[in-house]
Chain A
Amino acid sequence: MSALASAVRPLGPTAARLGRRHAWTAAVVVFFVLLLTWNASQTRNFGAFEIQTMLASTLALAYVAMAQAVVVIGGGIDLSVGSLLVLANCLSARFMEGTSFGGSVLVALVVLVVIAALGALTGLVISVSRIPDIIVTLATSFVWGGAALFVLRTPGGGAAPEFQALVLGSGNAWWPALLCLLAPLLLVWVPLRRSRAGIAIYALGSSKDAAFLSGVDPLRTKVIAYAVSGLLCGLAGIATTAFTGGGSSQSTIAINATLTSVAAIVLGGVALSGGVGGLIGPVFAVWSLYLIPNIMLGLGVDPSYGEVVKGVVVVLVVLIGGQLRLRRSRSP
């Protein structure tokens, strides 16, 4: 009854409503700020260089987290994001080697289109075959991984130095990396989120039945979600090329990236069941996960334990988050 009464009184609950919707994201931002402050206090002369390092080295993972977020919001899950990253990395590194700045940009654009197309294909296969997302992407992760091996047998390749500077910034300039992060967010995600197609993605993840009855085309929506995800994975691969100045087809990179993406979205407030969350929370989660090993180093603890902490944090958050959501859905 009280909910009914409050729904009909538009005063007052506006703040409460906004609070409910963005609570988790706010919490992650606060968490990040706390970690950043902690890390800053450990480091002497904490400044632009540290910021640039953070933004540059996490750029790829931030993209991958955003990619996973789009898919999971739409009710799916993508275990191949890491492999797509590696494939994009190898493709761009192989073909950017020895090119000029313009050449590198051109390669980057082509790679983006290719990887986005692969993503769309994945979405199509999932819709048509009716095999669960989890299995299709498990299978495709091996296919993309094999393709990456084909492109670059051993680590190698390169990128035009101007291109690297464009993405990551030269000297201590940290804003290029930030701009690169914001670009797809502002140019692709925000318009999509406001469009009917974007709302359809959320609807599909929230309730397949309601979406179906509301006239949502599940195939079209899935393909769009996976295509956007592919685009972001492509950006991740290119960012890796820029950061490492080359490419590597090692499967451990792929597995690591996939695991981190799942961890980041869960920490960032995206529900594994779909329909809930955004892209900003996962990005802050990626940054937070990055800071943990740094902080441990500053405390004199072996940073490899940071990997353990990350894994434990993920499992705990999924566990607790799952329990909370289970409890909420059980009440009639």
Chain B
Amino acid sequence: MTDSEHLLRVRGVAKRYGSVEALRSVDLAVVPGEVHALVGANGAGKSTLVRILSGVIRPDAGEVEVAGKAVRFRSPAHARAAGLAPVFQDPAFAPDLTVAENLRLTTTDAGAFRRQLAALGLDRVELREAAGMLPLPLLRMLDLARVLAHDPALLLLDEITAALPADYAERVFEAIRRARDEGRSVLFISHRLLEVQEICDRVTVLRDGRNVDTLNTADGSEQRIVAAMLGERAALAVTEPRKVAPRTHREPGEPALQVRGLSDGHRVRDVSFTLARGEVLGITGLEGQGQDELFAILAGDRKAGGGEIVVNGEPLVARHPHEAIAHGLTLVPSDRWQALLPQRSVRENLAVPLYNSPGRWGWIHADRELHLVADAIARLSIDTRAQAQAKRLSGGNQQKVAIGRWLVGGFTTLLCFDPTRGIDVGTKHQIYDLFRELAAAGKSVLMFTSELREVPLACDRVLVLYGGRIVAELPAADADEATLLSSAHGLADTLTESA
């Protein structure tokens, strides 16, 4: 197929955020009248690619061609004018404006919009209602209708069926089929491989910021897609030698953490698990399955709607992280910008917990502080050359500082959210080793990770979170990536109770 017959051609696109390479080099080709899926594990680069294609951010390298012409999008409006229209998970509606006013912003023709609404089976929607008053699933449908009303050449749908009730999802599929019949194309980002099989013509798999495979869904299969997502290193990773043997026996006495029937009335439905003392427990799952909310609740940053949390035998109802921390439950956040004091030094960053209550506001005991800080730096091998301001550290070092803070402050259970995301392999292993040491010393670690291959390296057991519930529990030795990924997609129902 010649270049001019492609609707969209992406060549060698790359994007870097500081020291993190979100996209290394991606090639993608979409032809007119095609539904093309884009899949990959968390952090593979799907969202970044969509944002580049919709004009939200600019790539560092590479070319994008629309209908044979090279383009550089300056803004979302520019991309829309070129025929590329995204629908993101957060609908692009200003909540205080009415739907009608939001349509005026994008100069959407009201008649065309109503026709699209009717095609989606939603023609009784009140357009003069404030967008913020409408429920989220409905808003996403309206976003889709709005985008369709502009006659786009290429629809970019980012996890459109996530959090949509089944009947809405069905109507979305019909709309996608209609679009294809009209000669439009759809770039369909999804975690749900069953949907991809059902609706898409071709699939491109991203892994670690690169495209690794493109196949027709007709002759492809879930296994092949999953294998492409994992790559060949999967086999190697499991056979890597381990420095510290995994713990197989449980510490006597109260478990470090017991969670029963936890829910928040939203994404967290019904989560129950037990974390033993001296154990490293992994949790894994796709984006948006409730893990962010779960960790926020455990850390005391958010209130639970129902269920209970018991820490070292004592029930915990925290209204502020301070209370969780007082029970020894500390959080290393997912986002480094939530953990670091960017303009302060490494020492100040590490020492924050030492002064976090009025009783500790007095004179700083410099020797004690130095001792604790130096100890944490040594244990984590933190490179302190960029001493003056934490924002100058590399991603790996920043993450170590975020963890090191609790070595200084003390804890019994460490909650880590994606602790090794975007970090080089060497640093990753340092962190796994640290977790093993902490466990050997009687501490506990609850670690959410989207990097499946690290589960057997770091954890004793692993839980799989799907739809706000724990759907699988496996000892680390049995936790190969294919099984985990399948459970995470809701494909297989493997509930293996360990002894």
Contacts and interface: CB of A to CB of B under 8 A. Distances in A.
Nearest to A274: B96
Contacts of A37: none
A173 interface: no
Interface string A178-214: 0000000000000000001001101101110111111
A1 B137 CA distance: 10
B75 A215 contact: yes
A206 B94 contact: yes
A210 B129 contact: no
Contact of A206 (B76, B88, B97, B124): B97
Nearest to A4: B135
A171 interface: no
Contact of A214 (B92, B133, B134): B92
B96 A206 contact: yes
Interface in B414-437: none
A7 B130 CA distance: 10
Interface string B80-108: 10000010101111111100011011110
A213 B88 contact: yes
A194 to B, nearest CB: 9
Contacts of B137: 4
B10 interface: no
Which are the 10 A-B pairs with shortest beta-carbon distances?
A215-B77, A206-B94, A275-B96, A213-B92, A206-B96, A203-B94, A214-B105, A8-B124, A210-B94, A332-B266
A128 interface: no
A7 B106 contact: no
A13 B126 CA distance: 10
B244 interface: no
Contacts of A216: 105
Given A199-B101, A215-B75, A215-B80, A7 B96 contact: no
Interface of B: 56, 75-77, 80, 86, 88, 90-97, 101-102, 104-107, 122, 124-126, 128-130, 133-135, 137-138, 264-266
A319 interface: no
Contacts of B94: 202-203, 206-207, 210-211, 214, 275
Q: Is the interface of B mostly helix, strand, loop or mixed?
A: loop
A21 interface: yes
B126 A17 contact: yes
Contacts of B107: 196
B124 A10 contact: yes
Interface residues of A, number: 30
A57 to B, nearest CB: 34
A276 interface: yes
B105 A211 contact: yes
Contacts of B56: 212-213
A44 to B, nearest CB: 46
Contacts of B75: 212, 215
B155 to A, nearest CB: 15
B105 A200 contact: yes
A202 B132 CA distance: 14
Contacts of A17: 126, 128-130
B96 A202 contact: yes
A202 to B, nearest CB: 6
A205 B105 CA distance: 14
24 contacts: A3-B135, A4-B134, A7-B126, A7-B133, A7-B135, A13-B129, A17-B129, A20-B133, A196-B105, A196-B107, A203-B94, A203-B101, A205-B96, A207-B95, A211-B105, A213-B86, A214-B106, A215-B75, A215-B77, A215-B105, A215-B106, A275-B94, A332-B265, A332-B266
B101 A202 contact: yes
A13 B266 CA distance: 26
